[in-house]
Chains A and B, each alone.
Chain A
Amino acid sequence: MAAINEEKERRVIPNWRSFATTASLGELNASTLKNSYIPILSIDSYIHDFKNNPSVPFAADLLSAALVNGLTDDKNVEGAARFLMNHKHEITTSQEELANRIINGPSASLNVIEKITIKQLNDCISNKDYINRIRELKLHLNNFPYNSIAWVELSRCYSILGQERKAIQTMKYAVQLSPNNRFVTRSATRLFTHFGEFDLAQYVLRHCDMLRKDPWLLSAEVSVNTLKGKVSSLLKRGIEIIDSDNYSPFSTTELAASIATVHLLAGDRKKSKKMFTKSLISPNDNSIAQIEWVLNSKDKNLFDKSVINIETRHNYEAMAINNFYNNNLIEAMDNACQWFCDMPFSKRPVMMGSYIADLLNNKNLAITFLEKGLISNSNDCQLLNNIAYYHALENNLDEAIKYIERIDNKLVDDIDGICITATKGLIKFREKDFEKGRELYLSAIESTAVLRNKELNYKAILNYAREEIMAKSDFIEPAMNLINEMKEIENMSIGIKKLHTEVIELYRKYKASNM
């Protein structure tokens, strides 16, 4: 039976993307409201020189000045760029790239994720890509060991490949080089919390000189404390920053969402609503996802859903959740795929994507999603169990056994253990070893009862009943009796309801064929 990685309590931990993407989202801009004053310089003299001397060096000198001044739209500059491209055999690669950039605009590669749909899942995020990227970064760092951004990028690649120790070590180098840099500190916070190193995350934040002044860092500090079950001593400082007029609403969005979450957990809905409302003035993907999570939890009535600006960039997580709960499953699956490509080390988009694929009866797609998740989490028992489960349902028993045998029992908790036992029962049923299969299923069902986990209990019973019906065994009626005793099915998750309908239909057909 499939395990579900349900996020009981989401926190506003910084999202971790590549440096270029993070920069393009504006999360690294100066927080305070002040303007730069560098004037745009005239490039007339460079234009004049090129007109009088139409040759490669003069054209390149003009292009250089234009790029420095951001005057690349000037038609004379474009003319010089075209001149260079017409003399391709006489120019350097730098000149060619610069001319291309001026003619065609900067590379649009940052928007690639937005165009990804589930059809491209197979092609995106592969081990090979990240191994190559690691090789490139190592080479670069040999020459430029003081580049903290490259160390962060290397750490990210390691974390995507699930190499925890190396990811943590390289991130430590980055923090040593740039302990006060927002990108480095927030990336470190995400990595360390991802691997459960909450104290390390807190240490990095506490030793950052900018912590008390930077809302992006304060937000992380408040959330890390919440993860540890504590309330940050800087909560008051955070509220001061939000209430002051010195910071842009975008730079305080995560901080407001973090503080709102603290208030919500403390049961102060009024303060929480006030902070979430501030967070929504100019939200980012993380604050929106936090609000989506709240609105799909027990606090769904905190405020009106229509106030959310779902158009925020890289908002894949919130969109996946929103589309899922609105029953737009195809769109939700595309969003899960985008979410996964945006943050490949995260297991949540993988679990959600495979769950939706299952709801859409596409077991192969569910398996593809889960296998992608194994890149970062190669020993994850939930992923391995679910792959085995879907393979077994498709009667690919060799594959199912291969994955179920990979599970390390030392990493298995009670709930996962129940799911794995049930999956083993499924495999035995499909191997026609009904007795052993039944024994395993009943053991799983009994454990769910001990844990008083109703959802899991229903799920195990439904899976078991399906196998008895398919086996046309003598135990169908007792299994169906257990199903008939189920209450409030309508309040269960969409997955349970679907499974329930399928089993009832299967039973009906079985009965019809035996009449």
Chain B
Amino acid sequence: MIDSAANNLQGRTLSNGWKVIEKITKADNATGSFFSICYKVEKDNKTCFLKAFNFTPFFQVSTQNGEKRSVTDVMGDMIDAYKYERQLSEHCKTGHVTKVAFVIDSGEEIVPNFSINLVPYLIFELADGDVRQKLSFSKELDFAWKLKSLHDVAVGLQQLHGVNISHQDLKPSNILLFDKESKIGDLGRSMCKDIESQYNNQIYTGDLNYAPPELMYRYYEKEWEKRVFATDCYLLGSMVVFYFAGISMSALLLKHIPDEFRWERYGGTFEEVKPYLIAAFGDAITEFANCIESEYFRIELKQIVEYLCFPFPEKRGHPKNISSLGNSYSLERFITKLELLRRKAELKIKTWQQ
């Protein structure tokens, strides 16, 4: 891994003036940095985050499952991925998306003495960290902050949906913190209806550890909008679960599914497993609710999770949206509810402080 141009940017000043300060260590296939090496960069006293596209994983991918692919194909994929993420950022900017971490600059660097010496890169605002660095599960005081963060995420997701983008990879490591604001990071695995990409023909592009149950049981909606927005709904609900119960929705669900019906073991169809999923879902929601002390918040958050994470995609979303014409997966009602809950939580804190 070290022997690649992307791994050797530290100390260099890039052609567009950015100085590479230090490498941000990640595992080989770290969450949020697929096929990429990350650095801190500096310019005009502003520190940012650089994502350098690395060739090596593409070569690994090229030999996966015994399938051989030419280097030009692999490089083509990498270039496409680089261009795609840059285009997505541009698409977001023109669509007035505010709650997503954008590309603020981009370029290509030649690093000599490497067989493949071209390193395309994207530069983003540097976040204070991801949400896992801030979350605490012991203090009710954090309720207002958690709800504010979830509200930001829901707004970000809704903004993306507004410009026909489905994030597909919403998880704690992709919720970035900027001072008091939370933003969705890593559009790298997003799907966009308006931009051609290798991902558009895939069923799911995100981290399977957070994927909704229907996809794990090999069932998916044929219609693109329904499939991808239902997935995002589930991922948002999963974040609500993570913020308050401290584990992912998929883990919570699996805790209540007998081993015989685990997705990697069960040989039946999604239709056959539905009653068991529903039973597990009921228990999971009850467990989630038990993690919240305040009765008011417990009832409201439980309902939000129940709507967002319902194990059948066709019944996911707010019931009023499902029963009426239009987008069943609109997040507007959830955004409003999260904002209301945040205000209530803040009022509660103020009452305590008085």
Contact = CB atoms under 8 A, between A and B. Distances in A.
B278 A146 contact: yes
Contacts of A19: 258, 279
A430 to B, nearest CB: 53
A98 B279 CA distance: 19
B287 A20 contact: no
A94 B31 contact: no
A67 B133 contact: no
A140 B267 contact: no
Contacts of B290: 93-94
Interface string A45-63: 1111100110111101101
Chain B interface mostly: helix
B251 A29 contact: no
B57 interface: no
B265 A144 contact: no
Contacts of B272: 30, 180-182
Contacts of B254: 67-68
B219 interface: no
A70 B262 contact: yes
A94 B208 contact: no
Nearest to A153: B279
Given A38-B216, A47-B27, A93-B287, A61 B278 contact: no
A47 B28 CA distance: 11
B287 A48 contact: no
A58 B173 CA distance: 9
A64 B248 contact: yes
Contacts, number: 185
B10 interface: no
B137 interface: yes
A177 B268 CA distance: 19
B120 interface: no
B114 interface: no
Contacts of B208: 38, 41, 68
B138 interface: yes
A20 B28 CA distance: 39
Contact of B246 (A38, A48, A52, A92): A92
Contact of A40 (B264, B282, B288): B264
Contact of B25 (A35, A52, A93, A147): A52
A92 B139 CA distance: 11
A38 B267 CA distance: 10
B245 interface: yes
B278 A149 contact: yes
Given A150-B282, A181-B272, A90 B248 contact: no
B266 A29 contact: yes
A32 interface: yes
A70 B26 CA distance: 23
Contacts of A29: 260, 266-268
A44 B27 contact: yes
A98 B267 contact: no
A45 B29 contact: yes
A95 B245 contact: yes
A98 B288 CA distance: 13
Interface in B281-302: 281-282, 285-288, 290-291
A482 interface: no
B255 interface: yes
Contacts of A92: 137, 244-247, 291
A369 interface: no
Interface string B222-248: 000000000000000000001011111
A158 interface: no
Given A94-B245, A95-B247, A148 B278 contact: yes
Given A45-B29, A45-B30, A101-B255, A61 B266 contact: no
Contacts of A37: 218
B263 interface: yes
B265 A36 contact: yes
Contact of B26 (A35, A48, A56): A48
Nearest to A58: B132
B135 A57 contact: yes
B282 to A, nearest CB: 4
A96 B259 CA distance: 20
A41 B171 CA distance: 16
Given A23-B258, A94-B246, A68 B251 contact: yes
Contacts of A58: 132
Nearest to A89: B138
B58 interface: no
Given A61-B248, A177-B275, A181-B275, A45 B216 contact: no
Given A90-B137, A92-B245, A94-B246, A35 B260 contact: no
Given A65-B209, A183-B276, 13 more contacts: A24-B258, A24-B259, A28-B261, A29-B260, A36-B266, A41-B209, A44-B28, A48-B27, A60-B246, A92-B246, A92-B247, A95-B246, A101-B255
Closest 3 CB pairs of A and B: A48-B27, A30-B267, A64-B251
8 contacts: A23-B276, A30-B266, A38-B216, A48-B26, A63-B251, A68-B248, A106-B259, A148-B275
